[in-house]
Amino acid sequence: MNAYEDVVEFLREGEKVEAIVFGAWGWGSEPEEGDLWEFGYKEPGEDDGVPLVPFGLRGRMMSLSKAKPYMEGWSFYGGHGAPECYAVYIWTDQRVIWVTQYDGSTMLDDAPRNPQSVLPEMPGA
């Protein structure tokens, strides 16, 4: 499982990632102002106190190459139940990419980066 490879495979030919931002794991959420981050449900690293994506890097833009080491050991594509990946926004020169969920199954989804005539799709259809 490698979320970096998931992204690379999702990219179109010649498409370039400009920035990526990680959020909480699975059904977790960001802390209230002044509170500390908590591990999400079944988030890897909870046993040793070291999350795969450090709490201090969540919500911060970074390049795909800087994010790559934090994307090993998990995938954006998962089965039913609680999501087993981080929430994410990925900006490319063509699209905005995020994780979507249908009936507990997670996958990458996208929309054009700029307004254009396009037929929108319904996730889960």
pLDDT, tens only, 76-122: 999 888 899 999 999 999 999 999 988 879 999 999 999 999 999 88
Residue 124 domain-assigned (yes or no): no
- For residue 124, what pLDDT is reported? 72
Tally of domains within the chain: 1
Residue 125 domain-assigned (yes or no): no
Rounded CA-CA distance 98/105 in Å is 14
Token digits for 119? 């037929």
Residue 119 domain-assigned (yes or no): no
Let me know: does 116 contact 110? Beta carbons within 8 Å: no
Neighbour-count burial of 16, counting CB atoms closer than 10 A to its CB (0-12 exposed, 13-18 middle, 19+ buried) = exposed
- For 42, other C-beta atoms within 10 Å of its C-beta total 14
The residue segments making up the domain with residue 93 are 3-112
Each residue's pLDDT tens digit, 11-44: 999 999 999 999 999 999 999 999 999 999 999 9
